[in-house]
Amino acid sequence: MTLHEVRLMNEYTISWPLWHNAAPAERDDFDLSPELRADLEAWAKTFNDHYDWESGWDDHSLIEDHGAAAKDLRDRLERELGPAYQVQLHLWEC
């Protein structure tokens, strides 16, 4: 079985943090629960609202929770997407 690679990664100005096929994914590229969709968007929003490209995090107390949320999102993505997908987390901002 061919594994489809999906990357979970934040990037400046990107509000939907899933990537595949060499580019940011579209929101309807994957069949995900509304709860997971909302949490993915919230995770990306936290990054875009609080991480500045020049100075980094404006609130360092967010870093630990942000990192933990990333791993939780990765695990939930793996469960919802199933065995045909390989989810990679690239957490460069922590």
Residue 54, phi then psi, degrees to nearest 5: -90, -40
CB 81 to another protein: min, Å: 20
Encoded tokens for 16: 């939907």
30 binds another protein (CB under 8 A): no
71 binds another protein (CB under 8 A): no
Q: Which helix or strand (DSSP H or E) is residue 15 part of?
A: none
53 binds another protein (CB under 8 A): yes
14 binds another protein (CB under 8 A): yes
Which span sits near another protein by CB under 8 A: 35-43, 64-72, 74-82, 86-94?
86-94
Whether the CB-CB separation of 72 and 35 falls below 8 Å is answered with no
Whether the CB-CB separation of 22 and 55 falls below 8 Å is answered with no
- Among 29, 41, 80, 93, the residue binding another protein under the rule CB under 8 A is 93
Q: Which helix or strand (DSSP H or E) is residue 57 part of?
A: strand 56-57
2 binds another protein (CB under 8 A): no
